Structure 1
């Protein structure tokens, strides 16, 4: 049989899926390794999708999505990102098949073979995986514990070469729960302008920040064609628990819609119409789900922190998203990937290994805060405490 392409053979396994699928095969396991919202989808969202099917409205939609949905995404983004009311309209919104397709879409537009893309380390693994699928070169920029896992512009600037094309920013961060502040975001955008880099901003968790505001890099971007450089990736998977409907949006610089139509046609043509109508209902209808989820994640964060405090386990206090980043290096022996597998076998608890997100994640684990609080507290209670604690 002929061989697969080299760039596919080199794509590493996703360690989050590795441990999670092992947990799904383990009876009674407490799965804290994957970010899956646990609340029922609001009824009005489900009914909008079902009504679309009842009407047999199952034909192609425009490549960019239903006009009403694009406007709804634009309105939410203007409100949440703090951009001026007229600067981002529906013409700059592209409806995509979930945030992951949006990331692939953006990278397909921006990267040629051999180009370099700067991605956070630790950072979400598909940033690097997707770049490799496009024959591009992911270059990790460090997020160090000593600096609260915040990027330092000087560290990033030292990695820029004549092949660097894109800077990926992620706030709130998966896996860290870290949030970029206004001053740092402005500095990072200035860096991108100095080196004429595109910026892909992953804002999948923009609805969930705690005690700090969400700051979008688009706030500091230009509006005119030739001056704008930010692609913003949004999803309804986390905000409204629509993970299986695969629906999100890519907010784009002006003036490139025709090129985007061409690329979208070659990837998926358009997003399924029932998912689009469900998304429209979610964005324009009651927001009780988001408010309830926000409160639940915050309460779970604090409950998890109390358990870790009692055990003497260091962690990064999450300012956003729904994850807690915990230091279990006292137990892992320098191999956190192997340790989470043993911990699952011995204790029945699945945690995502920090190395799933980059080399700096060695010794750390990501804990999902989105499930039942009883399971979260029970699972973390099984962690080995530091000497003399827990």
Structure 2
């Protein structure tokens, strides 16, 4: 017998494909995965260890421990200017579980969800697992890889139920300004769509501010008087902000009144998040923020160092305003198959980059460069890329 058809249709994650190959290649320079390289702050580790010492290893409430939900709500108010009740905060096993929780709650079989192209690869993967249909919307170079309202409007059908937004963007490093964010929320309100806003990189922007769609949702400070009912779900994570990728801690900020339904769905999936991880997350949110400040400075330094190398090699790139990625055009070398080209680059030059096609058809000819490694390794790796001749 075969596994279910929808499971067989889940595509290979090309980021993992090239990264695992790089890990198996001695002395390779891995610029393909977004893994923060700093040690976790000591007070976070001690909080998790103290929870173990207290034998805090039992179930927690489905939605998470109350102090952590309160801390997420406080951060949301501080960073986004949006007041949410802790009952609207659902602690998840990382942002990815938050995405799955939202989609499995809001989408039914055959429902359509608009996802960015290029965009993070688990958006269509997750949609497929809940039997929904992912419909890519184009992010184009001539518009700075920003969404256009008219493109989105043209894709809406009677089956469209959700719009996925991601700013700061993985893989692009693009950031939505307030006017565009407001227009996107207005579009969702006009077309009666849910918004799932992936804000994994909200702590890392360069010279611009992060603007959450929740600001313009019903009840938000920027919402019109006739905003109607809230429609924005916000997926957050501590994986990137505090380097806690292995603790698997995130949060889904929901409209009011969703907790009973989400409790049932959480019980049917993972019941609750690990208690020691939750206490570590509480320490991260409520303790010193030096990790975040230092990480942002390092990513800015790496962005500037990387762009200097790309300019020297005459390789076009999208100036990164946020996250810790750089989106570069290698079409002069990739020959129309960037997935094969990055494999060849690893084999011949010992450098791993994420192929743009990992993020959708709009990524052909492009690569994503992770800026979270050692600066010297980053510069050395990019210096091995082929020079682009002037046209």
**Residue 93 of structure 2: aligned partner:** 97
CA RMSD of aligned residues (A): 1.1
CA distance in 2, matches of 1:256, 1:308: 47
1:207: which partner in 2?
Answer: 203
> 1:189-204 residue pairs with structure 2 within 5 A?
189-204=185-200
Q: Which residue in the other structure is 1:316 paired with?
A: 318
- Please give the alpha-carbon distance, in whole angstroms, between the structure 2 residues aligned to 1:30 and 1:57: 39
With 204-213 and 219-228 compared, the bigger mean Cα shift is at: 219-228
Which residue number corresponds to residue 15 of structure 2?
Answer: 16
Of the candidates 163, 172, 177, which is equivalent to residue 176 of structure 1? 172
1:245 — aligned with what?
Answer: 247
Aligned mates of 1:375, 1:72 — CA distance in 2: 36
TM-score, with length taken from structure 1: 0.98
Partners of 1:9 and 1:287 lie apart in 2 by 43
CA distance, structure 1, for counterparts of residue 362 and residue 12 of structure 2 = 18
Measure the CA separation in 2 of the matches of 1:250 and 1:168. 14
Name the counterpart of 1:216: 212
Residue 108 of structure 1 aligns to a residue whose secondary structure is helix
User: Structure 1 residue 345 and structure 2 residue 347: aligned?
Assistant: yes
Q: Do residues 373 (structure 1) and 375 (structure 2) align?
A: yes
Shift of 1:379: 0.3
Report what 2:60 is aligned to: 61
CA distance in 1, matches of 2:364, 2:193: 30
Q: Tell me which of 333, 342, 349 is aligned to 1:331.
A: 333
Report the TM-score, using the length of structure 2 for normalisation: 0.97
Matched, 1:123 2:119: yes
Instruction: For residue 89 of structure 1, report the CA deviation from its aligned partner.
Output: 1.7
> Is the CA contact 1:223–1:253 (under 8 Å) kept in the aligned structure 2?
no
SS of the equivalent of 2:164 reads strand
- Tell me, in whole angstroms, the C-alpha distance in 1 between the residues paired with 2:38 and 2:262: 34
Report the 3-state secondary structure (helix = DSSP H, G, I; strand = E; otherwise coil) of the residue aligned with 2:328: strand
The answer to whether the 8 Å contact 1:316/1:326 transfers is yes
- Per-residue CA deviations over 1:34-55 (Å, capped at 9, x if unaligned) read 0000000011000000000000
Partners of 1:5 and 1:134 in 2: CA distance: 12
Partners of 2:342 and 2:111 in 1: how far apart? Answer: 34
220-229 vs 182-191, which moves further: 220-229
Query: By how many angstroms is 1:214 displaced?
Result: 0.1
Return the alpha-carbon distance in structure 1 between the equivalents of residues 56 and 346 of structure 2: 45
In the alignment, the residues of structure 1 paired with residue 113 and residue 385 of structure 2 have an alpha-carbon distance, to the nearest angstrom, of 36
**Residue number in structure 2 paired with 1:151:** 147
> What's 2:299 paired with?
297
Matching residue of 1:274: 276
Q: CA deviation at 1:388?
A: 6.0
After superposition, give the CA deviation of every residue in 1:285-307 in whole Å (9 maximum; x if it has no partner): 00000000000000000000000
CA drift at 1:387: 1.5
Which secondary structure state, in structure 2, belongs to the residue aligned with residue 260 of structure 1?
Answer: helix
> Quick check: 1:117–1:139 contact (8 Å CA) kept in 2?
yes
**Structure-1 residue corresponding to 2:224:** none
**1:252, 1:296 → 2: CA distance?**
32
Aligned to 2:287: 285
SS at match of 1:346: helix
Rounded to whole Å, the distance in 2 between the matches of 1:228 and 1:383 is 47
What stretches of structure 2 of length at least 5 have no aligned partner? 221-226
Structure 1 CA distance for aligned equivalents of residues 184 and 310 of structure 2: 33
Deviation digits for residues 227-249 of structure 1, max 9, x if unmatched? 10000000000000000000010
Structure 1 segments unaligned to the other structure (5+ residues): none
- CA deviations on 1:208-259 (whole Å, 9 max, x unpaired) are 0000000000000013997100000000000000000000100000011100
Quote the Cα distance in structure 1 between the aligned partners of 2:358 and 2:80.
29
Aligned to 1:46: 45
Separation (CA, whole Å) in 1 of partners of 2:197 and 2:389: 41
Identify the residue that residue 27 of structure 1 maps to in structure 2: 26
Specify the SS of the correspondent of 1:321: coil
